Amino acid sequence: MTLLIDIKAFLTSARVHGFSSAARELRTTPSVISKRVGRLEEEIGIKLFRRTTRALTLTPEGESLQPRLQELVAQLDDVLFNHDRSGIRGALRIRSTTTMGTAFVGAAVNRFQAVHPGITIELLLIDRPVNPLEEDFDISFGALPQSFGGVIEKPMCPYPRVLVAAPGYLDKHGRPQKPADIVNHDCLVFVPVGHTWTFSSPSGAISVDIHPHYTVNDSRILVDAAINGLGLAIVPDFLAREPLEDGQLVKVMPDYPVIPIWFKAMVPRHKALRPEVVALIEHIQKESETAPWV
């Protein structure tokens, strides 16, 4: 098992960007982690890290090996520690974005566990990008167009978004007519989306690098900021429906809709056929037909 221990030392160091942080997570000392990584490098004849007094960075060979070793270690752990599972008993570790979790995923998971009380569930709401393979999640629910090696994506349903602003803001600053006009406006940004907004047009996708005036990691706060006239915002369509209906917000540039994204499940490949994973995904797929954003 020495080789497996050394591989885990490498993977942890790569994920947390340092031997000291890896040592804290693995409950040992930095010198032990360094020794394990060095032993692995000697065993396979490849330098995995560039070491300086200020930073620990992966070599190109280390970057190539990291996702492959991560998947192999996860498969081995699954064989060694989950071989007694039968039926759809067991445990599920699930991640969802906050907005999706509070609006839909949480209640859907609750109904799933009511039907399957033999399954132990841990549901965490996290808005930053999450690689479920690296962070040991069985399923990660989200909508951003992110992909990871060794992870299967299962699209569920469209997740519409819309560009909006308060009428008072547009009266004061003018209404943008095309994506290029946005660079002259105050923009309200949802942190996980980043600083590039992409719109559809007859000639193809148009991306605009915007300058954030206000940045937040919660969609409901983003909607409220737009209602208060702080600027333009791309928000989930279902959160904007009521303020659009009562005139607190208006749609901006309807001829250039925000590029579509999909609500999806991301599952580490080696976990995709587990009965409890399959059962939950089938349950969420069915319930997504009545998700609030559909």
Confidence of residue 81 (pLDDT cuts 50, 70, 90): low
Does one domain contain both 141 and 276? Answer: yes
Among 28, 27, 1, 25, smallest CA distance to 11 is for 25
Domain annotation covers residue 127: yes
Q: What is the pLDDT of residues 90-102, one digit of tens each?
A: 899 999 999 999 9
Does one domain contain both 246 and 180? Answer: yes
Does one domain contain both 135 and 65? Answer: no
Which helix (H) or strand (E) segment holds residue 241: the answer is helix 237-245
Domain annotation covers residue 85: no
pTM: 0.72
87 has a pLDDT exceeding 60: no
What is the token pair recorded at 174? 């003018």
* Distance in angstroms (rounded) separating the CA atoms of residues 170 and 252: 9
* Distance in angstroms (rounded) separating the CA atoms of residues 241 and 234: 13
The whole-number average pLDDT for the span 160-188 is 96
Does one domain contain both 38 and 104? Answer: no
* Distance in angstroms (rounded) separating the CA atoms of residues 88 and 276: 5
Domain annotation covers residue 74: no
Does one domain contain both 45 and 175? Answer: no
13 has a pLDDT exceeding 80: yes
Domain annotation covers residue 256: no
Query: What's the CA angle centered on 123, arms 121 and 124, to 5 degrees?
Result: 150
Residue 225's CB is within 10 A of a number of other CB atoms, namely 20
Number of alpha carbons in the 13 Å side-chain half-sphere of residue 224? 6
Does one domain contain both 101 and 138? Answer: yes
Whether the CB-CB separation of 141 and 245 falls below 8 Å is answered with no
79 has a pLDDT exceeding 80: no
Q: Please give the pLDDT value at position 114.
A: 93
Domain end, chosen from 34, 69, 104, is at 69
Compute the mean pLDDT over every residue in the chain, rounded to the nearest whole number.
91
Confidence of residue 84 (pLDDT cuts 50, 70, 90): very low
Does one domain contain both 131 and 172? Answer: no
Task: Report the number of distinct structural domains present in the chain.
Answer: 3
Q: Tell me which residue range forms the domain holding 275.
A: 90-157+261-290
> Residue holding tokens 């000697």?
42
What is the token pair recorded at 213? 């005036």
What is the token pair recorded at 41? 């490098």
Domain annotation covers residue 194: yes
Q: What is the pLDDT of residues 196-227, one digit of tens each?
A: 999 999 999 999 999 899 999 999 999 999 99
The whole-number average pLDDT for the span 168-174 is 96
Domain annotation covers residue 124: yes
Read off the CATH number of the domain in which 52 is found.
1.10.10.10
Domain annotation covers residue 80: no
Whether the CB-CB separation of 155 and 262 falls below 8 Å is answered with yes
Whether the CB-CB separation of 219 and 239 falls below 8 Å is answered with yes
Q: What is the pLDDT of residues 253-278, one digit of tens each?
A: 999 999 989 999 999 998 998 899 99
Confidence of residue 146 (pLDDT cuts 50, 70, 90): confident
Which helix (H) or strand (E) segment holds residue 238: the answer is helix 237-245
- Among positive and negative, which fits the CA dihedral 283, 286, 291, 293? positive
Residue 190's CB is within 10 A of a number of other CB atoms, namely 22
**How far apart, in Å, are the Cα atoms of 263 and each of 124, 154, 176, 287?**
17, 9, 28, 12
Does one domain contain both 185 and 244? Answer: yes
Does one domain contain both 98 and 41? Answer: no
Read off the CATH number of the domain in which 285 is found.
3.40.190.10
Of all residues in the chain, the percent with pLDDT exceeding 90 is 68
Query: What's the CA angle centered on 150, arms 67 and 158, to 5 degrees?
Result: 130
Q: Please give the pLDDT value at position 3.
A: 87
The whole-number average pLDDT for the span 140-160 is 93
* Distance in angstroms (rounded) separating the CA atoms of residues 128 and 274: 26
80 has a pLDDT exceeding 80: no
Domain annotation covers residue 16: yes
SS3 49: strand
Q: What is the pLDDT of residues 284-294, one digit of tens each?
A: 999 999 999 98
Does one domain contain both 151 and 180? Answer: no
Does one domain contain both 167 and 247? Answer: yes
Q: What is the pLDDT of residues 34-63, one digit of tens each?
A: 999 999 989 899 999 998 877 888 999 988
Does one domain contain both 115 and 167? Answer: no
